[in-house]
Amino acid sequence: MEKIDIISKLPYSKPFLFVDKIIKIDENGVEGEYTFDADLDFYKGHFKDNPVTPGVILIEVMAQIGLVCLGVFLLNEKVNKNTLMALTSTEIEFLKPVFPNEKVTVHSRKIYFRFGKLKCKVSMQNEKKEIVCSGTISGMVI
C-alpha cells in the first residue's frame, strides 16, 4: 500500500486531518509529520496572546499518525468507507509545548495488533529532535 493511499483512506478531512506526510511505515510501526498552521481556530483562545497547542490536539496527532495510519496499513484491503477506528485508551506524558507553525514528527512502534485492537508506543518530536510528548495509545477497529 502506498503512503499517499493510506492518507486518502483516513476518516478525517481538513481542518481535522493532522497528517501531512508518512515518512516510513511497515508492519511494526510508522513515522509521520504534521505542521501546525498558525491559523487553526484553537490557537485563538489557547492561550490569549501566547498560543500553545492543546494537549488533546497533540494526542489526536499522535493517534492519527501513530495508530490510525498504522491500522490502515495493517488492515490494507479490509479498510473501506464503513471501517471505523475508535480510540480506546491513552497514557501520555507531556514534556514541552508545541507552538503555531511548528512541525512535529511522530514515531510509533506496534506493541500488539490482535482481535481488532492495536496498541502502540508513540512519541512526538519537534524540529530540534526534542521529545515533546510520549506514551501509549490504543484503539480498535469497529
Which are the catalytic amino acids? 46
Q: Residue with C-alpha cell 513515522?
A: 31
Quote the radius of gyration of the chain (alpha carbons, Å).
Answer: 15
Half-sphere exposure of 60 (CA within 13 A, CB side): 13
Task: Detail the DSSP E strand segments found in the chain.
Answer: 21-26, 29-35, 85-94, 103-114, 117-125, 131-141
Neighbours of 67 (CB within 10 A): 27
